[in-house]
């Protein structure tokens, strides 16, 4: 499940492979993964050069020459993989970009087919959802700004952290890890979190994300980076997916709670419920 650290790892890995490459052709094996006009995509993409690859939240933006960009959301199981041409495409390979004078190709693979790509004018990128509706980047926001956002909300902190319009890029894994680090119960109402704890929560979010990026993300399921390698952070997760194991800080059994339909893993001793 690619969240911010996984997407960042993919973007960094992809950037130095594809920037400057000219797209020779595309093969669309599963048309439904395109969220734009198919004909336009096949007509407009070949011949363009990749200018930049960047991330915003969990979205990947591949900027092409001539004022067009590709927007990619990997959702649960999407992968963008730099692969030797000679390697036969697998069952879940849905789109292939070939490059001029290059023995590698860029493949979009997605076991569950929830992810998508679309082509649009670079100038219109930020006018449209989902980019338009994203909250601030958690690694760029300041403590006071974050605390301001918290006090204006009455929602429970866990679903709030998962809300991409509140803060962009957190998913279930890093939300739980951050709450554990900050010793905050996932059901706490955002506006009931003290200023001190609010600042602590942002620092927890930032240190977890930074550490996860350093370890190239967490492969708890199918995640692979831009060259097909798994991440290394899954073994450093403290609570996520560890129901019944002991809390690394206090030894108490980690519990799992379903909050707005999502699993939440937390330590009932370290993360006391305030209400």
Summarize as ranges the residues that interact with DNA (CB under 7 A): 1, 3, 32, 58, 73, 75-76, 92, 111-114, 129-130, 153-156, 159, 162, 164, 171-173, 190, 258, 260-263
For residue 262, indicate whether it is catalytic: yes
**Burial per residue of 61-77, b for 16 or more beta-carbon CB atoms within 10 angstroms, e otherwise:** bbbbeeebbbbbbbebb
CB of 75 to DNA, least distance (A): 5
Q: Find the catalytic residue in 44, 183, 192, 262.
A: 262
Q: Which is nearer to DNA, 45 or 220 (CB)?
A: 220
Q: Which is nearer to DNA, 92 or 199 (CB)?
A: 92
Q: Find the catalytic residue in 58, 158, 181, 216.
A: 58
Q: Find the catalytic residue in 3, 6, 8, 200.
A: 3
Q: Which is nearer to DNA, 13 or 171 (CB)?
A: 171
CB of 27 to DNA, least distance (A): 18
Q: Which is nearer to DNA, 59 or 182 (CB)?
A: 59
For residue 17, indicate whether it is catalytic: no
Q: Find the catalytic residue in 2, 5, 138, 159.
A: 2
Query: What is the C-alpha to C-alpha distance for residues 39 and 33, in angstroms, rounded to an integer?
Result: 14
What positions carry a catalytic annotation? 2-3, 58, 262
């Amino acid at each position: 499940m690619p969240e911010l650290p996984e997407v960042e790892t993919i973007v960094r890995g992809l950037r130095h492979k594809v920037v400057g490459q000219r797209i020779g052709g595309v093969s669309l094996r599963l048309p439904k993964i395109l969220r734009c006009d198919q004909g336009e995509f096949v007509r407009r993409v070949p011949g363009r050069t990749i200018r930049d690859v960047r991330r915003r939240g969990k979205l990947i933006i591949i900027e092409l020459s001539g004022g067009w960009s590709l927007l990619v959301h990997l959702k649960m199981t999407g992968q963008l993989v730099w692969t030797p041409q000679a390697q036969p495409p697998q069952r879940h390979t849905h789109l292939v970009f070939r490059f001029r004078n290059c023995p590698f190709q860029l493949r979009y693979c997605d076991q569950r087919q929830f992810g998508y790509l679309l082509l649009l004018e670079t100038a219109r990128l930020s006018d449209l959802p989902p980019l338009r509706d994203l909250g601030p980047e958690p690694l760029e926001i300041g403590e006071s700004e974050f605390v301001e956002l918290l006090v204006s909300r009455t929602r429970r902190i866990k679903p709030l952290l998962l809300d991409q319009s509140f803060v962009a890029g957190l998913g279930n894994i890093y939300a739980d890890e951050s709450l554990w680090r900050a010793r905050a119960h996932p059901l706490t109402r955002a506006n009931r979190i003290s200023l001190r704890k609010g600042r602590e929560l942002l620092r927890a979010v930032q240190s977890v994300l930074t550490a996860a990026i350093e370890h190239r993300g967490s492969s708890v399921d199918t995640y692979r980076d831009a060259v097909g390698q798994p991440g290394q952070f899954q073994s450093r997760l403290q609570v996520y997916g560890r129901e019944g194991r002991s809390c690394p800080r206090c030894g108490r059994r980690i519990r799992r709670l379903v909050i707005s339909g999502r699993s939440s893993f937390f330590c009932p001793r370290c993360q006391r419920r305030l209400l």
